[in-house]
Structure 1
């Protein structure tokens, strides 16, 4: 259909299941393994397939450059699905777009990534390059009844005395608690930090619990010196957060039984029940800014095969930006940031 090999013909090198990072570029619809010295360098006209294996987790990433062709994007989705099957459906599948990469993706490259113009079809024009520095991520943890973590701007102005924050530097994860934060927020921030370490940093990051006024040197280096006075706690902020989190996500069931994608609204809310995810079906969790595709173990083969295609059709249907982050998770291999939307599933 897209000029790529049929799924039955796709073969992967024997080392693809070995520990570590493996990077492939799609050239004329075929996978070409790249040497380690090329890892972290991406051409804007190409699509790449990456797989990271460790004893704690397995992840597949499809990276699309800003000038990647439709055929190469389609080939990337096919290869991602087939590699997922090849690795016994253990890896989480992720779709990445140039300039909008996830924290999980960037953590693979401690020294940052480099963008080069052109691609295979254009003869790798090297007129310019853009080096992206290592990225840090700041998560704001707040609420009283519905406590949720959401990424926020990396600056001291995002902080306040009444909430908790998680600063993820890749090697270290700092849990910062404001002097007026509540015990539920502190416990939730701590638990989420350990879950990020274990599932997304593969157990390699160090978690440090710190209090307001005890900021370590690395945190000050990243954010600058802490202001003498941060904003005080505001009960209305927690109330507003609870109300927002109550409406915070939408769950849809997706089906192709009629021959085309059908989306059925399941519900809105801060916390869903794990039992709402039925093994016979596939679901989309729309979190505004990021969507998750959940594949049930007994979903029909076509629905499972087209996970990334389904995600992109959903983005088009909802008129979301094509750069919206997409993560495909299979039943039994859900990430902590996905599970936080479900009651008693952490």
Structure 2
């Protein structure tokens, strides 16, 4: 398998209309063809039996386990499936609850995204339909997803070869990748639990990527040190995590170890000069500027001023025809508002859209929820002017996730 470094980015994957049109498509048939009657990834004697965090990456239509030491590292050219299994209450039967997330990198391919979506449904079936299902997008992750990684989540450039488009590396490309300059941005995502939510995101190694509010770790090609550049407004937690990241990058070639530079120190200009050299700048060596501003590569999900109110919708075919009707608006819903005979869509004011499936829902209702929910979030984004479409999750009656229950109380 080709390594991550040096792989070219594909076309940026547009997730707004993803995975719905794949049903019954060539991708769907290919996935079904290559999928064994019993998926080895799920049948290891641990999945569905023991609590824990499990991660798989999609490689050539196959679900490949990510080693425990690599959990929390994602590549923007790939698609992943993440399973969080946890104990339910204090039951002596050791019953488990399950949350499934399929994570789509911004440069993942159509076949990888389709496989991740399909295999997510398959994993839910393996868990007897008790898991919540959540779609995660690289540029705007949900807080529930970030909370799964108490240390940090790292997003790097690159990806494995895909089932349809194989990316081959030449010897020259591999050598160039080994010498490349890498700049990592370290920041805390607002709203995540205290002590969590640190994101380490690879960014373009240029001076304009710097920002006063965050910490940056620079591993420059040919440099004898790994540099930590601390923005003047960064937090102690960001400083601490950046130090850990820098230590992880050290190799015998880094004879000078880790060099920590505060933005307002005169010597912090060495980071700017190294970035300009990496970009091939012909300008004279630059000094650090008084201030840097750049948009974070991961945005915080927020509603806008004219975003819709909290709403509860019912999807039902009890009348003989499938209908989608408003049940409640402007206030929190209660579990008692959900009818076991139907499917419901709970819109938490644009922050998250949940689908709740009743145990007595008809086959038609269960078959149509994905199409209806996808159309709903697209319309919501267009009408409310949301920068990012809200994340979407699905739960089943009696197996509601903590994130879903909290959304009813917020």
Match of 2:43 among 7, 13, 31: 13
How many residues align? The count is: 248
1:145 is aligned to none
> Which ranges in structure 2 are unaligned for 5 or more consecutive residues?
1-24, 89-96, 170-176, 198-234, 240-304
Match of 2:156 among 112, 115, 126: 115
Contact 1:117 1:124 in 2 (8 A): no
Please list the CA deviations of residues 110-166 of structure 1 after superposition, one character each: whole Å capped at 9, or x if unmatched.
132222234422538867867564745438xxxxxxxxxxxxxxxxxxxxxxxxxxx
Please list the CA deviations of residues 47-99 of structure 1 after superposition, one character each: whole Å capped at 9, or x if unmatched.
11111222244211100111223333232222112211211233222111002
CA change 1:296–1:274 in 2 (3 A) is: same
Give the drift of 1:310: 4.3
Secondary structure, aligned partner of 1:4: helix
Is residue 43 of structure 1 aligned with residue 75 of structure 2? Answer: yes
2:124 is aligned to 84
Higher alpha-carbon Rg: 2
Give the drift of 1:263: 3.1
Match of 1:4 among 28, 31, 40: 31
2:313 is aligned to 252
Contact 1:253 1:266 in 2 (8 A): yes
2:354 is aligned to 292
Contact 1:111 1:134 in 2 (8 A): no
Taking the TM superposition and a 5 Å limit, the aligned residue runs for 1:221-260 are 221=236, 248-255=309-316
Is residue 27 of structure 1 aligned with residue 40 of structure 2? Answer: no
Secondary structure, aligned partner of 2:124: helix
2:373 is aligned to 311
CA change 1:136–1:252 in 2 (3 A) is: same
Where in structure 1 do 4 or more consecutive aligned residues deviate above 6 Å? 124-130, 256-261
Give the drift of 1:327: 1.9
1:138 is aligned to 191
TM-score, with length taken from structure 2: 0.51
Give the drift of 1:222: 5.3
Contact 1:252 1:267 in 2 (8 A): yes
In the aligned structure 1, how far is the partner of 2:367 from the partner of 2:37? 15
> Which ranges in structure 1 are unaligned for 5 or more consecutive residues?
140-166, 172-219, 225-243
Contact 1:292 1:328 in 2 (8 A): yes
Contact 1:103 1:135 in 2 (8 A): no
In the aligned structure 2, how far is the partner of 1:278 from the partner of 1:33? 38
Is residue 334 of structure 1 aligned with residue 362 of structure 2? Answer: no
Contact 1:118 1:124 in 2 (8 A): no
Match of 1:102 among 142, 146, 168: 142
CA change 1:63–1:337 in 2 (3 A) is: closer
In the aligned structure 2, how far is the partner of 1:327 from the partner of 1:51? 14
2:223 is aligned to none
CA RMSD of aligned residues (A): 3.8
Contact 1:113 1:133 in 2 (8 A): no
CA change 1:341–1:28 in 2 (3 A) is: closer
Secondary structure, aligned partner of 1:72: helix
TM-score, with length taken from structure 1: 0.59
Contact 1:270 1:341 in 2 (8 A): no
Is residue 282 of structure 1 aligned with residue 343 of structure 2? Answer: yes
